[in-house]
């Protein structure tokens, strides 16, 4: 059984393993991963973002160097641990990027900042995720192993060689279940619309979060909401990564330019 002390704000390198601090960043971009994913998906962005943007890719427990740490199964518990790590780095302008499950976490970060009177993000990019008011997909994390693995195959995010590797699968299944649970849940305390700019990315052939569903994000903020569609399915960030990065660059540049 995995056991580890809960991460603390005194060890930010565990949460941001690939961060390379800039002396005077114009903006920090906090990136949150999809279910089962890690900070590594964003590492190639570090030298490709607009000048002065510092990449802060979040590494959650239960993966890569944090593999032996138990994953969070409750979004409120994750937020209680994550917010104290994020807040010290929010002393500069910042934006949020979340992919699938990461968008659910990013939404909760934005909500907590608002309810706690914290700093305001310049913008939030939500990718491959349903809007909170339309998150009515089946809770697949509650299925038995056979059913859950079948659903993982359907998402096409877990390599087949991993799904066929019994020992490896046993090691990562608890994290995958916990992550999918986070993606389906919230704390239910704050359902008000955001008041920050949103940029929403979707895959044109995504079977789980289709273009029609993505359009409902327009109702989730009182500020500017822009929607972009990319070729590819649910994991278009892998199959069409360069257009996604170009869109991120454009969004960040627009938001930074708008700062007085």
Pairing of strands 123-127, 94-99: parallel
Short-list 19, 226, 221, 56, CA closest to 133 = 221
Q: Would you state the structure tokens that stand for residue 57, as one six-digit string?
A: 């890719």
Q: For 142, which DSSP code?
A: G
Return the axis-axis angle of helices 166-184 and 145-155, rounded to nearest 10°. Answer: 80
Which of the following is catalytic: 18, 100, 199, 221? 100
Question: Do the beta carbons of residue 103 and residue 128 sit within 8 Å?
Answer: yes
Q: Would you state the structure tokens that stand for residue 147, as one six-digit string?
A: 């059913």
74 classed as catalytic: no
Q: Would you state the structure tokens that stand for residue 13, as one six-digit string?
A: 């390198």
CA–CA distance, 80 with 76 (Å, rounded to integer): 6
Q: Which residue is associated with the tokens 């490709």?
A: 48
CA–CA distance, 50 with 61 (Å, rounded to integer): 29
Q: Which residue is associated with the tokens 């990065």?
A: 245
Q: Which residue is associated with the tokens 């939500």?
A: 126
Q: For 95, which DSSP code?
A: E
Short-list 80, 125, 76, 134, CA closest to 103 = 125
- The residues assigned a catalytic role are 100
């Amino acid at each position: 059984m995995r056991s580890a002390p809960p991460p603390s704000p005194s060890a930010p390198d565990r949460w941001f393993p690939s961060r390379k601090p800039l002396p005077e960043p114009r903006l920090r971009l906090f990136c949150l991963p999809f279910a089962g994913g890690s900070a590594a998906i964003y590492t190639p962005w570090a030298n490709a973002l607009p000048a002065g943007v510092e990449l802060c890719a979040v590494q959650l427990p239960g993966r890569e160097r944090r593999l032996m740490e138990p994953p969070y199964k409750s979004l409120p518990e994750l937020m209680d641990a994550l917010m104290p790590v994020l807040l010290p780095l929010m002393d500069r302008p910042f934006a949020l990027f979340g992919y699938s499950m990461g968008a659910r976490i990013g939404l909760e970060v934005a909500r907590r900042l608002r309810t706690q009177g914290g700093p305001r993000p310049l913008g939030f990019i939500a990718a491959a995720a349903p809007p909170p008011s339309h998150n009515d997909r089946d809770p697949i994390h509650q299925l038995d192993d056979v059913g859950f693995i079948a659903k993982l195959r359907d998402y096409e995010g877990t390599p087949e060689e991993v799904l066929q590797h019994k020992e490896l699968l046993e090691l990562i299944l608890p994290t995958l279940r916990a992550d999918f649970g986070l993606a389906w849940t919230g704390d239910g305390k704050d359902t008000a619309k955001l008041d920050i700019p949103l940029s929403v990315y979707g895959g044109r052939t995504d079977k789980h979060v289709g273009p029609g569903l993505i359009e409902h994000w327009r109702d989730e903020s009182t500020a500017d909401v822009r929607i972009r569609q990319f070729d590819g399915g649910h994991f278009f960030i892998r199959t069409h990564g360069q257009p996604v990065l170009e869109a991120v660059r454009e969004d960040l540049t627009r938001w930074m330019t708008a700062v007085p």
